[in-house]
Amino acid sequence: MEIKNHYDVAIVGGGPGGLMAAWRLSQRDPALSIALFEKGNPLEKRICPIIKKTAKACVHCKSCAIMEGMAGAGAFSDGKYVISTEYGGWLTEFLPDEVVMDYIEQADRILVHFGATTERFLPSDELKKRCLEFDLHMSQAQLKHLGTDANFDTMGRLIHALEERVELHANANVTGLDRATHALTIHSGGRDHTCTADRIIIAVGRAGSSFFSAWCEENRIPLHNNQVDIGVRVELPAMVWEDFAKKIYEPKIWYRSKRYGDVTRMFCFNDRGQVVTENTNGILTVNGHSYRDEARKTQNSNFALLSTTNFTQPFKEPIQYARHVANLANLISGGSVLVQRLGDLEAGRRTDEKRLRQSTVRPTLSAVPGDLSLCMPKRQLDNIIDTLHALDQISPGTANYDTLLYGIECKYYSARPKCTNFEIDGCPGIYAVGDGAGFTRSLSQACANGLYVADLMTPQHN
């Protein structure tokens, strides 16, 4: 499909926020000419060699199938859909709680229309009380587990329906955007193309956050740096946390360390799932997946355990800080990610191949045995160890010797541009949404953000 010279609306990024915006715009005004440009592959061509078991370690594909491509990082996520404003992003700083909840529910109905599950896990005061007894604090939410496999299929059906309404351009990397003329430069098919659009939605996701931040700085748009979370992916026998998993699916718990007063968060829980590698602009980190298909489930569960840091002046490069820590792990592991037993870490010795073979917890990711203390700052490592022992009080077995820690996992929340109702200040007609713009950090809020901005742009709301 050829890129035209002009569109009514151009959407940069094919993740959940961009797709939801495209769907709503095309529904409310079918006469609109809409183009969506996605840097990565079409959904059906997003094939990770590790997941397909054709490679044991990351082979540095030109486009990371996990992080980039149509449907965004959400396509291969565990597919948790958080129906709450208690966590998942910062939309409530811009919109009333009830408006955010309304849009989260609207997005859910769209996903259900395309095959997503209707099953919801409900909050549990019983489990929350158990946490509070040990100074652990659990967030409450209704939650849907879409599943890595089922979520992929749902997104596929949404994209297929959009193809009849919207121009979808995969492998189309937007390399330039003129704020004054609304001219976009797109590299596709081995050459550069140029087009203009009356209105533009930037929905680049975490993988495109560096591009977006650089564009904002180039155009002197003030940015607000959000927090950065650095830590590990914890893997242990599924039965250790099955009580929580069966009742609420995801235990989302935070703990304030007694030593530093820092907050460490347990989240992104994957019941009977697997640990995976992600490649974001050449830096390898870890994450977790979990499938709805019983045949693809494992005997282990995994979750993120990350220590939160909010930097103050004069330092203003939190994303680069997180990437530097992750890069150290890549360096030490010879271009991969590390895994270490908790007992070895606390004993001050590295995990080697022999010790890993002796582990009662069998790793689901082929990572390099090593020593996380050589790449992770002491403060964050202390916080993680302290939190594991706190969690052990509510789910005994969490801090066992053979509990596996993979590193580095980091969540850097993109720098947020100064804006008014998501329209970037000084850039009339250019809007930003989702994780890549620092407004959200979840599938549900990214979808809601896309729908909301689309409604701002349609005639019924003008």
CA atoms within 13 A on the CB side of 257: 21
Please choose, from the candidates 229, 204, 233, 416, the residue with its C-alpha nearest in 3D space to the C-alpha of residue 323: 229
**Strand 167-169 with 34-37, pairing:** parallel
- Could you tell me the pLDDT band of residue 460, with boundaries at 50, 70 and 90? low
CA–CA gap between residue 374 and residue 380 (Å, rounded): 12
Task: Please tell me the predicted confidence (pLDDT) of residue 56.
Answer: 74
- pLDDT mean over 446-459: 94
What was the pLDDT predicted at 209? 85
Q: How confident is the model at residue 13 (pLDDT cuts 50, 70, 90)?
A: very high
Q: What is the pLDDT of residue 64?
A: 79
Q: Would you state the pLDDT for residue 39?
A: 95
Residue 54 in 3-state DSSP? Answer: coil
Per-residue pLDDT, 251 = 95
Contacts of 123 (CB under 8 A, 6+ apart): 140, 141, 142, 248
**Residue 72 — left, alpha, or beta (φ > 0 → left; ψ -120 to 50 → alpha)?**
left
Split at pLDDT 50, 70, 90, the class of 180 is very high
Contact, 236 vs 397, CB < 8 A?
yes
| Host H or E run for residue 145 | strand 142-145
Q: Using the predicted structure, report yes or no on whether residue 461 has a pLDDT greater than 60.
A: no
Structure tokens at 116: 């997503």
Q: 423: Cβ–Cβ under 8 A, 6 or more apart, which residues?
A: 429, 430, 431, 456
The answer to which of 152-166, 187-201, 256-270, 448-462 has the lowest mean pLDDT is 448-462
What does the alpha-carbon distance between residue 421 and residue 95 come to, in Å, rounded to a whole number?
9
Q: What is the mean pLDDT of residues 67-89?
A: 84
Average pLDDT estimate for 198-219: 92
Q: What is the pTM of this model?
A: 0.86
Q: Are 287 and 207 in contact (CB under 8 A)?
A: no
pLDDT of residue 57: 75
Tens of pLDDT, residues 274-305: 999 988 878 999 999 898 889 999 999 999 99
> 32-69 pLDDT, tens per residue?
999 999 999 999 888 888 777 787 777 878 887 778 89
Exposed, middle or buried by CB within 10 Å (0-12, 13-18, 19+), for 114?
middle
Which amino acid is present at 105? Answer: E
pLDDT, tens only, 323-367:
899 999 999 999 999 999 999 999 999 999 999 999 999 999 999
**pLDDT by residue (tens digit) across 221-243?**
998 876 788 999 999 999 999 99
Look at residues 444, 407, 454 and name the one whose alpha carbon lies nearest to residue 109: 444
- pLDDT tier for residue 315 given thresholds of 50, 70 and 90: confident
